[in-house]
Amino acid sequence: MHTELEAVQQQLQTLRRQIELYNYQYYVLNDPSVPDAEFDRLFRELQRIEQRYPHLIAPESPTQRIGATPVRAFAQVTHDTPMLSLSNAFDENEVKAFDRRISEGLAENPVEIEYAVEPKFDGLAVTLRYENGILKTGATRGDGYTGEDITHNLRTIKAIPLSLPVEKTPRLLEVRGEVLMLKADFIQLNKAQLQKGEKPFANPRNAAAGSLRQLDASITATRRLMFFAYGIAPNLDVLVPRDTHSAIMSYLAGLHFPVAHECTVVQGFSGLIAYYAEIAAQREQLPYDIDGVVYKVNALAQQEKLGFVARAPRFALAHKFPAQEAMTRLLGIDVQVGRTGALTPVARLEPVFVGGATVTNATLHNADEINRKDVRIGDTVIVRRAGDVIPEIVSVVLAQRPEETQPFVMPHHCPVCGARAVRLEGETVARCTGGLFCPAQRKQALLHFAARRAMDIEGLGEKLVNQLVDNAIVRTPADLYLLGIAALANLERMAEKSAGNILSAIEKSKQTTLARFIYALGIRNVGEATAKDLARYFGNLNRLMDSGMEALLQVRDIGPVVAQSIVDFFAEQHNREVIERLRASGVSWEENTGIAFEPVDNNAISGRTFVLTGTLPNMTREEAKAEIEKLGGKVVGSVSKKTDYVIAGNDPGSKYEKAVDLGITLLDENGFKKLLQSIAQC
Ligand code: IVH
């Protein structure tokens, strides 16, 4: 017969298993099966029973993730099996040499080698020691032989099992992997840091390191950390797979350790290179930072045969992405003038190779940013170039600041036309007040007019526009339509043929749409989406030009600021003249009566705002966008409270999380198609 105590023990065991399972579904699978309230209820139930029977509290109970007392210092841990490093490769030739060495080492030439391939996580290496299925020690890598005991901190990471969820456990299992902070959690943490008036962390890796280095685990517990397993210390237990690395990874996944979805198996050199390219393309969308990919010979027998060189295994290789951050010197700060007169400070740098390209300029955003980072000419700075993002200055290396540097002061006059620069209240940027008299603003206005999404004049790029304005050949967009072959062919680097091409592109642009034309005018605060709204609402340019605030405010999503910009623009005689001249040159579009004068249609898309994220399996974004716009909906780039629907494809970005946060309706491609069908049937 069961004693009462046995029954309680049984109940505790069931509760703990259930709670750990819910934890796993939530933190590892990202797929909770019960509402938070149900989880909380079970957790409180467990706490209640443990309080009644304190002697039954076990260290592996989910209530014991945060230890009671902070430690005074980290104890040293000697690794039974050293935590080695990886040899690096930075280009394909080095990968080819690696593959050749492997083939030769195994004397299996010309058979293709099978490799297990994984992301190279940009976090901190740790080892987790399970004795009879219970997490006993967690430690950092340290020098590879001796690390620090950070068990108390690692236990707070919910994705790390405190006990293995199986009946039969190996006597000893040492799981190795990387602790990191997901990009989304990093953004949240930095926001909170700034709100508290504390210093933000430079990157997710530093945030993870700072969180793990806490002597007080209750601080670590407030930081959302993640763990990914990438291997085990050699293990001869019969329960642990002994044939391949990929089998070990599946075994770990079965024990509820997080294993990245991107881990897979490929064949031969070509498989390695294809994997590198695939992961490089996904890099920005991955939820965590990586700094390359790792290749491992999959068969453990082959691994053993290959052995080790110095401190790295011969059977593995890290193929690194080009570094995204580098140090260089700030030679000067130029101030550029944008289309709306905004003055943007731009850093001129000693050329440096970073993120796969040589960088000589980086944005400094605005005066506040320069002050916040205290960037001074002559400083050594850290430059970051990630993907297609414009390079930026992350920070200054203060220890290398030369003597007698001066804080940077933004000019009070436009560096191009000399007009006064003013910074309006509530704005972060100062603006040149020269308007279209300022050659810089004029050039930008012309480039905007000719842009692909505006009048789409192919070939009218920066170099040509600079020459046209500097030689006073073109002052306004209307002048473009008066250009002749002679004027163009006289310009530098312009042969008769390319001049002819430009002229036909200009000619072709005459036939346009009202939305494109409105957008091309470059009215302050009128982007592509607003231009489309205006075109749809008014249907006709004269009506738009003559509308006052009241009429404009009727247009969906147009508030007083945008309405005022439109009124101001058309109040300028100069702008009306340019429009008149453009029309006289033959620029034209179809007009209609607009929806302001039609009954408003009432479908689920008309008047709604959509955001697209990720890759849709069967339609391009452009196609989805066209469908939405055809039905009177609007597609914008970022999620806000005003968004009605977010359509999420594969690998959605942070927009997806934001939509979840804000409780916005999420649709996948099927859901979107159903929505379209429901309207077609109306
Ligand atoms: S395997 C014996 N796999 O890279 C090889 N390491 O230089 C043991 N790292 O600090 C490492 N992602 O923490 C391996 N998928 C991955 C990895 C990975 C990141 C880190 C590891 C270590 C460094 C090795």
∠400-401-406 over CA atoms, to 5°? 170
Nearest residue CA, atom 24 of ligand 1? Answer: 85
State how far the Cα of 77 lies from the Cα of 68, in Å rounded to an integer. 21
CA of 589 relative to ligand 1 center, distance in Å:
60
Nearest CA to ligand 1 atom 13: 125
Res 586 pLDDT > 70: yes
pTM for this predicted structure: 0.65
Tell me the CA–centroid distance for residue 205 and ligand 1, in Å: 14
Give the position, in ligand 1's atom list, of the atom nearest the Cα of 263: 15
Ligand 1 pocket by Cβ (under 6 Å): 84-86, 118, 120-121, 125, 141, 178, 230-231, 294, 313, 316, 318
Which amino acid, residue 590?
E
Of 79, 81, 83, 86, which is best to mutate to test ligand 1, by the most ligand atoms within 8 angstroms of its C-beta? 86
CB 355 within 8 A of CB 391: yes
β strands within 281-415, DSSP E: 290-297, 308-309, 312-313, 316-320, 325-337, 343-354, 357-363, 380-384, 392-396
Please give the number of the atom of ligand 1 that sits closest to the Cα of 141: 10
Check residue 12 and give its pLDDT: 95
* Residue 388 clears pLDDT 80, i.e. is over it: no
Integer Cα distance of 306 and 316 in angstroms: 10
Q: How far is the CA of 120 from the centre of ligand 1 (A)?
A: 7
CA 122 to ligand 1: nearest atom: 19
361, pLDDT greater than 90: yes
Residue with CA at minimum distance from ligand 1 atom 23: 85
The ligand 1 atom at the shortest distance from the C-alpha of residue 260 is 15
What's the pLDDT band for 543 if we cut at 50, 70, 90?
very high
State which of 127, 174, 178 you would mutate to test the pocket of ligand 1, scoring each by most atoms of that ligand within 8 A of its C-beta. Answer: 178
Q: By percentage, how much of the chain surpasses pLDDT 70? A: 98
Q: Is the pLDDT of residue 109 over 80?
A: no
What is the predicted pLDDT for the residue at 130? 98
Strands 645-648 and 609-613: parallel
Nearest CA to ligand 1 atom 14: 230
Percent of the chain beyond pLDDT 90? 71
Q: Which residues are catalytic?
A: 120
- The position carrying tokens 């994220």 is 613
Distance 125 CA to ligand 1 centre (A): 7
Q: How confident is the model at residue 598 (pLDDT cuts 50, 70, 90)?
A: low
Q: How far is the CA of 227 from the centre of ligand 1 (A)?
A: 13
Show the tokens assigned to 563.
């309405």
Atom of ligand 1 nearest to the CA of 120: 12
Q: At what angle do helices 462-470 and 439-450 cross, to 10 degrees?
A: 140
**Pairing outcome for strands 645-648 and 665-667:** parallel
Distance 415 CA to ligand 1 centre (A): 50
Closest atom, ligand 1, to C-alpha of 178: 13
Does residue 454 sit in helix, strand or coil?
Answer: coil
> Three-class SS string for 242-261?
CCEHHHHHHHHHHCCCCCCC
- What is the structure's pLDDT at 493? 82
Distance 176 CA to ligand 1 centre (A): 9
Query: What's the pLDDT at 68?
Result: 63
Cβ-count burial 545-566 (b if 16+ within 10 Å, e if not): eebeeebbeebbebeeebbebb
**Residue nearest (by alpha carbon) to ligand 1 atom 3:** 230
Closest CA to 431 of 343, 508, 506, 371: 343
Judged against a pLDDT cut of 90, whether residue 601 lies above it is answered with no
CA–CA dist 264, 47 (Å, integer): 40
User: Which of 239-243, 306-310, 411-415, 469-473 shows the lowest mean pLDDT across its residues?
Assistant: 306-310
Report whether pLDDT(52) > 90: yes
88-89 and 316-320 as β-strands: parallel, antiparallel, unpaired? Answer: parallel
pLDDT interval class at 682 (50, 70, 90): low
Q: In testing the pocket of ligand 1, which one of 88, 290, 294 has its CB within 8 Å of the most ligand atoms?
A: 294
Please name which of 349, 522, 352, 337 lies closest in space to residue 418, comparing C-alpha atoms: 337
Mean pLDDT of the region 113-138: 97
Q: Residue 391 has what pLDDT?
A: 92
pLDDT at 464 over 80: yes
| Residue 105, strand partner residues | none
Q: Is the pLDDT score of 530 beyond 90?
A: yes
pLDDT, tens digit (0-9, with 9 covering 90-100), for 630-653: 888 889 888 888 889 999 888 887
At 445 the pLDDT is 95
* Angle formed by the axes of helices 268-282 and 92-106, nearest 10°: 140
Least confident of 211-220, 268-277, 657-666: 657-666
Matching residue, tokens 């105590």: 5
Chain-centre distance for alpha carbon 445: 30
Ligand 1 mean position to 257 CA, how many Å? Answer: 16
Which residue has better confidence, 435 or 257? 257
Mean pLDDT of 607-620: 88
Q: Whose CA is nearest to atom 2 of ligand 1?
A: 84
pLDDT of 188 above 50? yes
Q: What is the torsional sign of CA 472, 477, 478, 480?
A: positive
Q: What is the pLDDT of residues 314-334, one digit of tens each?
A: 999 999 998 888 899 999 999
Please name which of 150, 105, 101 lies closest in space to residue 124, comparing C-alpha atoms.
150
CA distance 679 to 603: 6
Ligand 1 atom with the shortest distance to the CA of 86: 7
Helix, strand, or coil (residue 152): helix
Predicted pLDDT of residue 600: 47
What crossing angle do the helices spanning 560-571 and 573-584 adopt, rounded to 10°?
Answer: 70
Residue nearest to atom 12 of ligand 1 (CA): 120
Mutate which of 81, 84, 117, 121 for ligand 1 pocket (most atoms within 8 A of beta carbon): 121
Ligand 1 centre to CA of 107 (Å) is 26
Contact 255, 161 (CB under 8 A): yes
